[in-house]
Chains A and B, each alone.
Chain A
Amino acid sequence: MNQRLSGNTVEPEFQRRVQAVVVGTGPGGSTVAKRLSEAGIDVMMVEAGAYVPAREFSQNEGEMMRKLYREAGLRTTDNGAMAMLQGSVVGGSSVVNYLDCFRTPDTLLYDWVKRFGLTELTPARMKPRFEKIEEILHVRKLPVANLNPNNDLLRRGTEALGWKGDTFHRNAKDCYGSGFCDLGCSYNAKQSAALTFVPLATSTGATLLTDARVDRVLVSGERANGVEGTLLDEARQPRGRFRIDADLVIVSGGAVHTPYLLLSSGVDDPSGQLGHNFWTHPGTPVCGWYPGTRVANYEGVKQGWYIGEFSDVLNGNPIGALIEGIGAPPGITATIFPGLGLERQRQLARYNEFTAAGILLRDSVPGRITVGKGRPGIDWSLAPADAERMKLAVARCAEAWLASGASAVLTGHSRLTSIRSTAELAKLDAVGWGAGEVALFCFHQMGTARMASSSKLGVVSPTGRMWAYENLYVADSSLFPTATGVNPQLTIYALADVVADGILNESAGAQLH
């Protein structure tokens, strides 16, 4: 990567003029940067996170959480109810995800076409985009033979109960199954945006500025004129300012920071929906206990098997949840297990005998991103209807663990001890789902600048353009009209590809190439 600048080392009052500035280097931003750069446009990608090469992925949980995750992995919703995990590094969350690759389900695409007028998103039109992206990302289906014990037990439970399930498609090349996917792949096996779309963009002339947090999009009248922000040192503390003037501005900071940046920049939003429709795929862990069996859920391919039986978008099931095998390193696991002192120590001594799966719920009631005091406000709580569906999904997951031989199942509740039989699933009726009562995690943030055919329906046009501006675009998971119900990375790449087409064909971009 020879066109890389760092906020650590550039002059403390850095200024540059380019044709297009892209804020963020995750799947959305890097896709647009690559496409525009290939078309001959002078592009600068600006990333708040650092460029972290594989040799610096130490596999140390604490260190990597600080280096690779937004707010060191400590960010939660405003009410503290749910942890919000997002990558903050070149490549964005694609560097720290579990590599799961789902094409946007056809049922969902048809829904987006019908309800939001997004006629470009029919399955037939999206198919070649997915094929192209999957080729770049080296997406392959995981063979059953490669399931680790954790995921294989989930598979056995699924099949014993006659449910639908499958192995994931993953963007990996020569994977060693080390099991440190969420701390960055030390072996460059994970084909993240940092290894694919970002270098493809720089290889055609794009420049990458890292360690540079964009604070404001500069707008006047119907035009965006660039961005300005703060240069960060290695400790993520301010060391200077920067300004990038540009003919095109593309915001790809993710569904929390994109609306936060646009709202705090005072952009005109005729839809009135910017920051609304915040979908989260709330998740909670469900662990099975297999005494005497070394499961070591953190070894091998952590996320290998999913239960699709209860998905609405894959299987028409009203619960609307995927159940996915997960590997949980000890730092996270320790926060899930209830109890204090010796009691909790005794439970955790069985750590290697526990399986783990996560619920991915397609939420029906969205939250909202606001401009808080110097940081995004995240207004979200688990709606009662969604809590009820979450309970059903947890119960189905517990059944799967019990069906594959678990002696007990532990949920993420602070009061529930364990479920030892299907008869004990009724215990779930008595537990709470509010803040501080259950461990909730959000890995997928979506929908806060929704794409639609009119400003009555969404924040941006079907090409990702903010309605009130001729050259201001959004390209990330903020675009999603609804939650996807499946892991979203391929959908982000594909929608960003749609946006790139729009930019190149609309007047502001067309005159640049």
Chain B
Amino acid sequence: MLAVPAPLLAALPPARSQFGPDDEAVLDALKAVLYGPGAEAIDILTPLRETIAFLDEAQQAQLASLPSTFDLLSRVLVPTGGAFATLSLEAQAAALEDWLQSPLAFRRQVGQALRQLVLAHCYTHPVGQAAVGYAGPWLGRHLLPVHPLRFGEPE
């Protein structure tokens, strides 16, 4: 995860071990921007909460503060007229692109970290997987043995 520069830490909410309602609103909004049509059928918040619960204290604090960092700095650096989650889809997309394409490495890192976090959870969801033609686990679909591969002597 990201190392947040020390001066910025002071401006951020205190360290938490789990996402707060505002963080989840940002994550849900990012899901709609990144995934596109059909995003409402995908719940990323439940697995994200499960993921963060697996991390240790230092990691939880970093991850839980990521959406807040993004939202707070978006308002400072790219005046958009309000909290990220309240913007129109077009304005959200523009704001996210501004982070992803920023000449500042830190902003690209935050943008990419959120992008990857959200997309990974969209496409580990059965709805996202079905949308790309991925049938998911073999278990339950194939009765084994199928065809053990032929591992003979070196050719």
Contact = CB atoms under 8 A, between A and B. Distances in A.
Interface of A: 58-62, 65-66, 71-72, 74-76, 78-81, 140-146, 170, 172-180, 186-187, 235-237, 298, 301, 329-335, 340-342, 344-345, 348-349, 351-352, 372-375, 377, 414-415, 434-437
Query: Closest 4 A-B residue pairs measured CB to CB?
Result: A436-B108, A59-B137, A341-B36, A80-B109
Contact of B58 (A62, A187, A374, A437): A374
B149 A176 contact: yes
Nearest to B52: A72
B23 to A, nearest CB: 15
Nearest to A415: B101
Contacts of A372: 3, 58
Nearest to B107: A436
A162 B51 CA distance: 46
Contact of B34 (A186, A341, A377, A436): A341
A318 B135 CA distance: 41
A330 B148 contact: no
A76 B124 contact: no
B138 A341 contact: no
B97 A340 contact: yes
Interface string B135-155: 011110010111111111111
A348 B133 CA distance: 9
Interface stretch (B71-79, B80-88, B114-122): B114-122
B2 A76 contact: yes
A436 B109 contact: yes
Contact of B152 (A143, A237, A342): A143
A204 B152 CA distance: 31
Contact of A351 (B37, B51, B97, B134): B134
A4 to B, nearest CB: 22
A140 B55 contact: no
A79 B109 contact: yes
B108 A375 contact: no
Contacts of B133: 349, 351-352
Contact of A76 (B1, B37, B97, B150): B1
B36 A342 contact: yes
Contacts of A374: 56-58
A351 B117 contact: no
Interface residues of B, number: 65
B93 interface: yes
Interface of B: 1-3, 33-37, 47, 50-51, 53-59, 63, 93, 96-97, 100-101, 105, 107-113, 115-117, 119-125, 128-129, 131-134, 136-139, 142, 144-155
Contacts of A237: 53
A113 B117 CA distance: 44
A349 to B, nearest CB: 6
17 contacts: A62-B125, A71-B55, A142-B149, A143-B152, A176-B145, A186-B139, A235-B53, A333-B123, A335-B119, A341-B33, A341-B34, A345-B36, A372-B3, A375-B58, A375-B59, A414-B100, A436-B100
Contact of B55 (A76, A236, A414): A236
B126 to A, nearest CB: 9
A347 to B, nearest CB: 10
B155 A141 contact: yes
Nearest to B32: A341
B56 A330 contact: no
A375 B33 CA distance: 33
B155 A414 contact: no
A72 B138 contact: no
For the residues of A in contact with B, the DSSP-based class is loop
A62 B134 CA distance: 14
Contacts of B37: 341-342, 345
B51 to A, nearest CB: 5
B137 A58 contact: yes
Contact of A334 (B53, B128, B138, B142): B128
A377 B51 CA distance: 21
B109 A140 contact: no
Nearest to B139: A59
Nearest to A80: B109
A330 B132 CA distance: 8
Contacts of A75: 1
Given A334-B128, A349-B132, A374-B58, A176 B148 contact: yes
B147 A176 contact: yes
Given A60-B137, A74-B51, A236-B54, A177 B109 contact: no
Given A176-B144, A330-B124, A342-B36, A145 B150 contact: yes
A140 B110 CA distance: 43
Contacts of B97: 340
A143 B150 contact: yes
A345 B51 CA distance: 25
B54 A66 contact: yes
B143 to A, nearest CB: 11
For A178, A235, A340, A345, which residue has the most chain B Cβ atoms within 10 angstroms? A340
Q: Which of A62, A170, A180 has the most CB of B within 10 A?
A: A62
B34 A78 contact: no
B93 to A, nearest CB: 6
Contacts of B96: 340
Contact of A348 (B55, B93, B132, B146): B132
B151 A74 contact: no
B38 to A, nearest CB: 8
